[in-house]
Amino acid sequence: MIIAVDGPAASGKGTIARALARHYGLPHLDTGLLYRAVAAEVLREERDPANEADALAGCSFDDFQLEDPRLKSEEVGKVASVVSAHPLVRKALLLRQKRFAGQPGGAVLDGRDIGTVIAPEADVKIFVKATPMIRAQRRQLEQRKSGIFESLDKVLSDIRARDERDAKRAEAPMRQAADAVLLDTSFLSIEAAVQKAVAIVEAARSRAKAASESE
Ligand code: DC
């Protein structure tokens, strides 16, 4: 079973994808980390993330770099959004993600284009959303835990800028697949959001089972 979880920054998609992977015993790939690893390389080598050739050079990161906790920083996230708009960067990371999705037994992947580009054949597609203000509040809370104190206005404007870049780029923009189920986590606890996600997967499995039995 392939489960595709897409959505904007701080929507809860990563938490939901990890919980689904645990629940169904499936391997999980946070595809945002790949773009973050490219961004970290570009930053380390002091290259220009807006330049496609510079960004492409960052794609030669080693797997162990994916474990670096610094990839989770706000700065790396912002640069990841910039490098991810380049078609050659997306192409360089495509096969790895498709292979992960296609492994025997299936997988859970989360990102922006999983249901539309990486695994359009996914058995279940969930698009996770939450209002920009709620996402900004969550992000601000996370930042405070790691000792970063930014105003809510600043966090909100960063979130809006990232949404705009991720959704408006020409190549594989963030978008809900036509056959994805929308899950709004704005007013849900983590537990309630995960419960809803499991219910979405179970409903899709029942539909698939009924369809195969009627063949
Ligand atoms: O999910 P995240 O915040 O870790 O992602 C960082 C950036 O990477 C995001 O702003 C856009 C890009 N990204 C992408 O273009 N496609 C994906 N499948 C995942 C992330």
**Residue 209 included in any domain:** no
In a domain, 84, yes or no: yes
Which protein residue's CA is at the shortest distance from atom 10 of ligand 1? 81
130 C-alpha vs ligand 1 centroid, how far in Å? 16
Report the CATH number at residue 148.
Answer: 3.40.50.300
- How many other C-beta atoms lie within 10 A of the C-beta of residue 90? 20
Q: What is the dihedral of CA 164, 170, 175, 177, to 10 degrees?
A: 180
Query: To the nearest whole number, what is the mean pLDDT of the chain?
Result: 96
By DSSP bridging, strand 2-6 and strand 181-184 are unpaired
**Residue 129 included in any domain:** yes
Given a cut of 90, is residue 214 above it in pLDDT?
A: no
Instruction: Indicate whether residue 111 lines ligand 1 (CB < 6 A).
Output: yes
Task: Band the pLDDT of 6: cuts 50, 70, 90.
Answer: very high
> 204 lies in a domain?
no
The confidence score (pLDDT) of residue 201 equals 98
Q: Which domain holds residue 161?
A: 2-196
pLDDT in tens, 130-158: 999 999 999 999 889 888 899 999 999 99
Kindly state whether residue 145 falls inside one of the protein's structural domains: yes
pTM of the model: 0.96
Q: Of the residues 76, 162, 166, which should be mutated to test ligand 1's pocket, given the most ligand atoms within 8 Å of the CB? A: 166
Ligand 1 centroid – CA 81 distance (Å): 6
Q: Which of 112, 114, 143, 176 to mutate to test the pocket of ligand 1 (most atoms within 8 A of CB)?
A: 112
The encoded tokens of residue 149 equal 């104190």
Number of domain units in the chain? 1
Q: Please answer whether residues 36 and 8 qualify as being in contact, where contact means their C-beta atoms are separated by less than 8 angstroms.
A: no
Q: Name 125's bridge partners.
A: 4
Measure Cα distances from 181 to 5, 23, 128, 129, 145 in Å: 10, 19, 8, 11, 32
Tell me the average pLDDT across 62-91.
94
In a domain, 86, yes or no: yes
Q: Report whether residue 80 contacts ligand 1, using a CB cutoff of 6 Å.
A: yes
Write down the pLDDT at residue 130: 98
- Of 145, 119, 127, nearest in space to 17 by CA: 127
Residue 40 and residue 76 in contact, taking contact as beta carbons nearer than 8 Å = yes
Indicate which residue's Cα is closest to atom 2 of ligand 1. Answer: 32
- Residue 8: inside a domain, yes or no? yes
Distance CA 55, CA 134 (A): 31
Span 173-191, average pLDDT: 97
Write the DSSP assignment of 24-55 as a string of letters.
HT--EEETHHHHHHHHHHHHHTT--TTSHHHH
End-to-end CA distance of the chain: 20
Instruction: Identify whether 205 is part of a domain.
Output: no
